Amino acid sequence: MTAFDVDEEKVGRPLSEAFTAPAISATAFTRLGEDSEAPVLPAPVLDGLAGPLGDLVRPAAAAREATQEDVAKALVDHEADVLVIVLPTGASQAIRMFAGAALAAGVAVVNATPEEVARDADIRRRFKEAGVVLLGDDLRSHVGATTLHTALIELMLSRGLVLGSTYQLNVGGNTDFLNLADTGRSATKFASKANALRAAGMTEVDGVAGPTGFVGHLADTKLCFASIKATSVLGSEVEIDLKLKVEDSPNAAGVIANAVRLGKAATDRGLSGTVDGASALLFKSPPHGLPESEARTAFLEFAS
């Protein structure tokens, strides 16, 4: 196992130490065994630290000189099976650089960010032609805002209600939310959440769900406030207002583990390009989204 970063607090340090470097607010970590002493490798900075992160994170000198070829070579040298891209939202060049490096190295990709990678027809075609698996886009957290919001939409539709308006506001205090406080960086997150609501059966969703604030003292705690209005029997009104409070990082950890397993299993089965069906459970914006219940069935079918 290996990892890449640009932060001078992380590059060159063993994973076990880089996990708790200053800007990180997550509190629980998995055990890595012998891999925990592997050093974090430098990656090209590109647009990784554009926006508010640039005031907080200083790039390591080695990262300023790193190239896409270095990343591809490191993936080959470490005999990587799957590359997980967990870069800041909006870092379009850096995210695409990692996808390109993985393609060159023949390594499957999990794009946990909302950047269009698996949804980009050209990138998809290149992975397919090269026989490399490509999973994404934008991780769907285990019990997160999107999972809860889309499950309630599915429930209301299954009960025959006519959906009205909805919104989903999210605040948090980790570096992801700091980065997302910049509207130039958060656009793809809004688009991705809209894709998930659309796949659940809701229309008129542009701009109604997304990150809406950075509150530093919340650290890794994320709060979601959502509302769904609908019309029921004899025109009666139904309105659900909810608040969800979760720890953001562990909420993604199990899904990332499942995405890595899916990437490896798909590669071992000789698949290439995107994996429809099974991907819909793990990502908000796969090329072909599905309602939660159908996505779960497709995932379990793949896993069995």
Ligand X SMILES: NC(=O)c1ccc[n+]([C@@H]2O[C@H](COP(=O)([O-])OP(=O)(O)OC[C@H]3O[C@@H](n4cnc5c(N)ncnc54)[C@H](O)[C@@H]3O)[C@@H](O)[C@H]2O)c1
Interface with ligand X (CB under 6 A): 4-7, 43-46, 48-49, 57, 86-89, 91, 94, 112-114, 138-139, 141, 174-176, 179, 189, 248-249, 251-252
Tokens of 286: 């796969």
Q: Which residue is nearest to ligand X (CB)?
A: 48
The least distance separating ligand X from the CB of residue 145, rounded to whole angstroms, comes to 10
By beta-carbon proximity to ligand X, the closer residue of 62 and 265 is 62
By beta-carbon proximity to ligand X, the closer residue of 141 and 161 is 141
The least distance separating ligand X from the CB of residue 88, rounded to whole angstroms, comes to 5
CA dist 18 to 5, 7, 26, 110, 136, Å? 10, 10, 12, 21, 26
By beta-carbon proximity to ligand X, the closer residue of 163 and 282 is 282
Nearest-5° Cα angle at 87, 77 to 89: 155
- Give every strand in the sheet of 134-135, ordered side by side: 82-85, 108-111, 134-135
Largest CA distance in the chain: 67
Q: Beta strand 162-172 with 209-214: parallel, antiparallel or unpaired? A: parallel
The least distance separating ligand X from the CB of residue 120, rounded to whole angstroms, comes to 16
By beta-carbon proximity to ligand X, the closer residue of 24 and 266 is 24
Q: Partners of 3 in the beta sheet?
A: 40
By beta-carbon proximity to ligand X, the closer residue of 208 and 252 is 252
The least distance separating ligand X from the CB of residue 63, rounded to whole angstroms, comes to 7
The least distance separating ligand X from the CB of residue 141, rounded to whole angstroms, comes to 5
Task: Tell me the C-alpha distance between 50 and 296, whole Å.
Answer: 36
